[in-house]
Structures are given as structure tokens and as C-alpha cells.
A and B are shown apart, each in its own frame.
Chain A
Amino acid sequence: MTLEIRNLSKQVKGVVHIKETSLKLEPGQFNVLLGQTGAGKTSLIKMMAGLDPIASGQVFLDGQDVTALSTQKRNISLVHQFFVNYPHMSVFDNIASPLRVAGMAKSEIQGRVEEAADILQLRPMLHRRPHELSGGQQQRTALARAIAKESRAVFLDEPLANLDYKLREELRDQLPDLFAGRGAVVVYATSEPEEALMLGGYTALMDDGYVTQFGPTAEIYRAPKDVKSAQVFSDPPINSATVRKSGHSVYMGDVGWDISPDVAKKMADGDYILAVRPNHILPYRTEKAKVSLVGRIAVTELSGSESSAHFDFDDHSWVSLAHGTHPYEIGEDHTFYMEADACLYFTPDGNRIA
């Protein structure tokens, strides 16, 4: 199975919600749609599912043009952010409902439902009603419905967003295995860059109704095409500032550093946008982190084994993220060290140059 969209766009009362988008999604790995709330992930999914009207473009399932085909006939699954199960049916009937609609034999329904229930550990709850289940179990029921159906495409629209932390981690670990080897194209929408990295596969970055970049997850994390893509795929937010390139060096205010001859060759002298991820700015000097930035610490955060500090430098707010705990004092001047090789450079109109 493949899922392809060509020049898909959506307008509501003349306002463009989704700009013309083309993607070709393959089965066998997760296709993550990553973007902030309001970027258009849900709209795009609904358009691919045939639930929302489209202004232009085509949708292909396995090479077949399904643009004009109703949702009912597309053989797809969709799991929402909030839990949608039929409240008056037992868990068994909920999982079985698409199979019954398809007119499958009773014995086969029984087998498929039980298989899906086993995978998602729902066996003991099969005869309960959805309202008697916890949030995690309700969402697992919705996932089981998608698995039992063996559909051509599975859309997961932030399926873990409403679950508590521990359940989320647990289900997230299971998810890629659940759909592996089933031949369905899996599209997973999330607003968390971390989730995209953990799920691997391919990622499409979305911003303001537009897919800014699509490719293997690790690759687009390492090499964002433009400033927008770099911003979408970074948490905490990526640091950016205006820099001036001259000869073999780059200057930011009165701080300057050398760049490699390869990079220097690509950039004519002039102004550029610099972007650097917070984990490349450290509170201590290392072999790589040598560019010193002295700034006043405004906010500090300690999360697990990482500590982050927000500091002001050259009229910008910067974030540093480092392993271990570091003794920061708010209001104190602290020297941070930036890894010059990890810097990304963009032209003033946002395209990456090096």
C-alpha cells in the first residue's frame, strides 16, 4: 500500500487553510506529521481520509485515485486525540463494528477481535462498556479497532495527547510494532518533536497549512531546509540571530568565529540568519564548544537529568540545554560556549545555505 497526495489544498470561505501539498507515503514505517497546534495536521488527515472537502488536488491509495470515493469505501482507520468509542456497545462490539459493517463471517470476526485485543491487552475488558474503562484502555480500544480492521491506511491524530505521561510512553513504545508488517500506511500526527524522533521513520514538518519539509526523520532533523523547518523540529525552541559573514569568519555583535572553507565558499559576504539548537550551547568549554557567549541568566529549568538556562545575549534570548545539573543563579552573568560546527546558516529569506 502507498498513500499519495498531489497538490491537495483546502479553503474555507476564501481563506486558505491548507496550501497545495504533495506527499508520497510508503508503508512499513511511521510517517509523522509534525507541527504546532493549528499547523493543519488534523485538516490534512481529514482531507486524506475524505472527511473534509478539498479545494483542489488528488488522493491516491495504492495508485488508485480515491479523491471522489466516499470515506466509507476507502477502507481506512482513524484514531482521534480524544477517545471515540460507541458508548452503548461493549469493547468487543466496538472493535468488531467495522468488521460487521463489512459483512464478515462471525467466526472470523471473533478471531480478529481477539487477536487485536491480545495485542493491546484488552482481553479482560472485552465485555465492558467504554465508560467503565480508563482513558488508556479507551484509547487502546480505538487502536484495536484500527488494527482489527486491517485497513489500507491508518491515521493516528495525536492519539497519545490525552493520556498521562506513563501510559503515553508505554503506548508510544508499542505503536511502531503494532502496525509493523501489516502493510498499511501509517500517518501519525503530533506536536512534539521528541515523539517524531522516537518514532523514527519519515517526518513531514508542517507550519501554517504547509508541509515545509519531508524526509527520513533523522535526516531532516540534522539538515532542515529552511528556518521554519528548523523551528518546527526543535524543542526547546531553536536559537536564532542575525550574523554577518566576512571572509572566513562569522560575526555576531562583537563575537566572531571561523567557519570551514567549504562553508565559507557557499556564503557570499553579508547578513545571514543563524540557527543553533539549545543542546549545542553548553555552560562549559569543550573541544567543540569554543565560542563564548556571556549572558545574564533570566530563567532556569531542571528536568530530569538535563538543565536548561535562558540567557540574554546581543539583544536576543538564548537557551542552553546541557546534561547534568548546573549551579545557575538567576541574574548572574554566565559564560556559555557554542559549538560553531553545529550552527546552521540561512539566507535572510529563510533558505538554508550551510
Chain B
Amino acid sequence: MKTQNNRAWFFVLPVLLLVAFNALIPMMTVVNYSVQETFGDNLFFWEGLTWFEQILRSERFHAALGRQFLFTGLILAIEVPLGIIIALSMPRKGFWVPVCLVTMALPMLIPWNVVGAMWNIFTLPDIGLLGYFMNNTLGIEYNMTRSPLAAWITIITMDVWHWTSLVVLLTYAGLVSIPDAYYQAAKIDGASSWSVFRYIQLPKLKQVLTIAILLRFMDSFNIYTEPFVLTGGGPGNSTTLLSIDLVKIALGQFDLGPAAAMSLIYFAITLLVSWLFYTLMTKDDAK
């Protein structure tokens, strides 16, 4: 009879433990809350899928989800093309390369809550640099605590300022990896700079752009700290994104069941969109 060597389990164990504490156990706690009604003194009552049904039918959830998709859509539509344009116009060699790279990386090094607080003060109508300038110097009314449009413009601008650099740096890395010979061949062919971008640079950038879009999608879809510090979800509910709404339900109203169900749905949507996008983008490569 063949003797089984079980020593392999020993090597896998640390990873199993890590994954368990990192993902499985917290996740299962949430699943546990999502199917029960919770009272004080750790009293639990089985509720089945009630909370899921309630969330999926709730108009409040639909509104927050709509705002979330609008926010993420705008972020991707602005940051990806802008990032590509900036990366294309950055120098490839010489003194200015490190200067550009460090300047680009700076916003990403600032902690989320600091970014939120910075922009909050920056836009205050009475003392903020931008707020004062807009209202008192230019005479344009700009107050994001009162106008939903101003609030949206501000959170979008803040995110563009904070995260476009990520797209820039990834794209730039992709661009410098294209050998000169391709550019020369395109020149010889008589290609215009648009053809060079369309037929040489873009295909070569496909992989890094996939990663950049994926990262920007996940981050912006799950964004919490910056808009929370900046607008707190207001005015009214106009900037209440999914994560802000979730925290309100879970910690404000202490509805643990619905909040748990909502976070699982939230997680499923993020996962599904990421998977769809990644599968579509890498479909051609598999052939």
C-alpha cells in the first residue's frame, strides 16, 4: 500500500491560518449577521433571506447604488483618458523624468482622511483658498455644504487630484517599455501620431490599462474616507455613496442584519463587475 505523506499540510497551514483570519472568519461573521435579527445580550433570531429582500427592494439602496455607479463612472471617464494624456506628454529621458515622477506620486502619498480634510478647508467659502476665491473674487456662488452640484464637483475633483497619478504612473511604465524600433517602423510607414497611438501604443498599453482601470474601479467603488470627511454624504443625501450609507445603517441605526446583507450585496457587485471587466479585457490574449 502506498503511504501518504501528510507533511505537505504542514507547509500549507500558515497560509490557511492567514486566509482564515484575514478573510474567511470576518466574512462568515457578516454572513452570520445577515441571516439573523440581532438584539442586545447576544440574542439571535433566524430571519433567512429577509434582509436581502428588504435591501434589494429598498429605494434608499437603489439611490445610493445609482450615485455610486455615477461617481465611479465619472471617475473612470475622467481619470483614465487624463492619465494617458499626461503620461504621453511626460519626457522619456533626461533631468525632468524624476521631477515629473515624484510630482506625480506626491498626491498618492497623502492619507485619505488628510485629503478629505484638506479639500474641506480648501473649499470653505469664508476662509478656504478656493472657496473664498470663487465666492468673493470671482463672484461665483460655490458652497458645497449647500449645493449638491458643488458637492459633486468637489468630490470628483478631489478624487481626480488624488488618483489620476496612479493611471499616469502605470501608463508611463507601459510606454517606456515600448522599444524605439516600433516608433521608427511607424515613422517609416508614414504613420501620424494618432496612428502611432492607436496601433502601437494602445495595444502595448492594454495590459497595464486593464490593471489601472481595475484598481481605479475597485478603489472608487469602495471609497469612503475622503467623501465622508469632505461632505459627510451631504447636502441631504446627495453624496451618500454606498459605503457611507452602509456605515449609517450599521453604526448609526445599528441595524446589523440589513447592514450585513447590504455589505454582501455590495461585495458581490464589486466582484462581479471586476470579473466581467477582467474577463472581457483578457479574452483576446487567451487565444
Contact = CB atoms under 8 A, between A and B. Distances in A.
29 contacts: A49-B188, A50-B187, A51-B184, A51-B188, A71-B184, A71-B187, A71-B188, A72-B190, A72-B192, A73-B190, A75-B190, A78-B184, A78-B188, A80-B181, A82-B181, A84-B184, A84-B185, A88-B203, A89-B199, A97-B189, A97-B191, A97-B199, A98-B190, A101-B189, A101-B191, A101-B192, A101-B195, A102-B190, A149-B189
Contacts of A87: 203
Size category, A interface: 20 to 34
Interface in A1-59: 49-51
B72 to A, nearest CB: 29
A174 B89 CA distance: 44
Given A89-B199, A98-B188, A149-B189, 7 more contacts: A71-B188, A76-B188, A78-B185, A78-B188, A80-B185, A86-B182, A86-B203
B214 interface: no
Given A84-B181, A84-B182, A72 B200 contact: no
A77 interface: yes
B269 to A, nearest CB: 32
Contacts of B199: 86, 89, 97
Nearest to A83: B181
Interface of B: 181-182, 184-185, 187-192, 195, 199-200, 203
Contact of B189 (A50, A51, A80, A98): A98
Contacts of B189: 97-98, 101, 145, 149
A77 to B, nearest CB: 6
A51 B190 contact: no
Contacts of B190: 72-73, 75, 98, 101-102
Interface string A216-252: 0000000000000000000000000000000000000
Interface string A56-95: 0000000000000011110111101010101111000000
Interface of A: 49-51, 70-73, 75-78, 80, 82, 84, 86-89, 97-98, 101-102, 145, 149
A75 B189 CA distance: 8
Nearest 9 A-B pairs (CB), nearest first?
Answer: A98-B189, A71-B187, A88-B203, A72-B190, A84-B181, A78-B188, A84-B185, A101-B190, A101-B191
Nearest to B287: A129
Nearest to A85: B185
A35 to B, nearest CB: 21
A97 B189 CA distance: 7
A164 to B, nearest CB: 21
A71 B181 CA distance: 14
Contacts of A86: 182, 185, 199-200, 203
A87 B207 CA distance: 14
A101 B188 CA distance: 11
Nearest to A72: B190
A87 B203 CA distance: 9
Contacts of A101: 189-192, 195
A71 B184 CA distance: 9
B194 to A, nearest CB: 11
Nearest to B200: A86
Contacts of A78: 184-185, 188
A149 B185 CA distance: 13
Contacts of B185: 78, 80, 84, 86
Nearest to B191: A101
Contacts of B184: 51, 71, 78, 84
B182 A72 contact: no
A72 B203 contact: no
A80 B181 CA distance: 8
A101 B187 CA distance: 11
A251 B181 CA distance: 54
Nearest to B184: A51
Contacts of A73: 190
Contacts of B203: 86-88
A145 B190 CA distance: 13
A98 B199 CA distance: 12
Nearest to A88: B203
A82 B184 CA distance: 13
Contacts of A71: 184, 187-188
Contacts of A70: 187
A88 B287 CA distance: 12
Contacts of B182: 84, 86
